[in-house]
Amino acid sequence: MAEQTTTTSSAAVTELPQKRPREDGAANENMSAVIPGWFSEISPMWPGEAHSLKVEKVLFEGKSDYQNVMVFQSATYGKVLVLDGVIQLTERDECAYQEMITHLPLCSIPNPKKVLVIGGGDGGVLREVARHSSVEHIDICEIDKMVVDVSKEFFPDVAVGYEDPRVKLHIGDGVAFLKAAQEGTYDAVIVDSSDPIGPAQELFEKPFFESVAKALRPGGVVCTQAESIWLHMHIIEDIVTNCRQVFKGSVNYAWTTVPTYPSGVIGFMLCSTEGPEVDFKNPVNPIDEKDDHEKSIGPLKFYNKEIHAAAFCLPSFAKKLIEAKAAK
């Protein structure tokens, strides 16, 4: 039988000083008071449901120019990074998201050399890109320096990605960065964004995809965070429609399991520009067989070539809608 919990009232805190560590796990601006001492994720993006994690200790709270930033030690998911009340990563399951958003595109093209990461300030995608020995240069454009600093302080196994000498960090607006990028520069662009409510909104719109396409070489690939088939089919259909108009190579949707994301899944749009054909479902650049080349970042935990191919298999309800929009 379920445990009984008695709750007490709590009030919102409207203005937070920077870096105010708390030890009581009490409710505050980032802690949608649900169970005292628990963090609950409530959002109009997933109405009528909430996932909650037990908080051992709040390690950091700050308000950047763009969003609220919080880090807490959870009881069972390790440390947790929260932006504007939404879980971005936990130490326990970050491997699934970081490995899939990175290796789905990079294992689909031979010898990727120049890679751009938009968002992804925690550094986890950089860590994964760095596994590819063919890569010569990695640009990352993150709008919020606080995310980078907080990750370096609290998530060393994620921020380890910044230690790779091929990485160049640009703090700024990803939309502007891409507009300014030289045409045909990148083999791959990875858009590791938060949800389309807040600072990441433009990253889901057609002009942004046009800038991505321009910055990619012919037959270059993009992978963008593309929400949940269970919760956001209308958003996904719009993204697929936009991508189909912009990317003249292939347009595909893949998904994976991430327990601490709403509905337990997250999806990815994988597209290629006109040029050498990219068959995302049959990766040509395996990483799982050579993953011992970089001992300092530990082995792959989640990704392998079978789960790469499986990620493109969709439940019928999603397949019908997505394939109709993705068809040329």
Q: Which of 16, 22, 26, 51 binds a copy of itself (CB under 8 A)?
A: 51
- List b or e across 247-266, with b for residues whose CB sees 16 or more CB atoms inside 10 angstroms: bebbbbbbbbebebbbeebb
Q: Are the beta carbons of 81 and 124 closer than 8 angstroms?
A: no
User: Is residue 192 flagged as an active site residue?
Assistant: yes
CA–CA separation, 254 and 315 (whole Å)? 11
Catalytic, out of 139, 144, 192, 195:
192
16 binds a copy of itself (CB under 8 A): no
For the record, the structure tokens of 173 come out as 């607006």
Task: Give residues 204-243 in contact with a copy of itself (rule: CB under 8 A).
Answer: 230-231
Give the interface size with a copy of itself as a residue count (CB under 8 A).
72
Query: Toward a copy of itself, which CB reaches closer, 59 or 314?
Result: 314
Residues 64-93: x/- map of binding to a copy of itself (CB under 8 A)?
----x-----xxxx------xxx-----xx
95 binds a copy of itself (CB under 8 A): yes
Q: Are the beta carbons of 252 and 269 closer than 8 angstroms?
A: yes
Stretch that binds a copy of itself, among 50-58, 135-143, 167-175, 245-253 (CB under 8 A): 50-58
- Give, in order, the Cα–Cα distances in Å from 150 to each of 28, 71, 78, 204, 314: 19, 8, 15, 25, 36
- Give, in order, the Cα–Cα distances in Å from 79 to each of 60, 141, 153: 11, 24, 12
327 binds a copy of itself (CB under 8 A): no
Stretch that binds a copy of itself, among 106-114, 135-143, 180-188, 258-266 (CB under 8 A): 258-266
Stretch that binds a copy of itself, among 45-53, 134-142, 176-184, 211-219 (CB under 8 A): 45-53
- Active centre residues (catalytic): 192
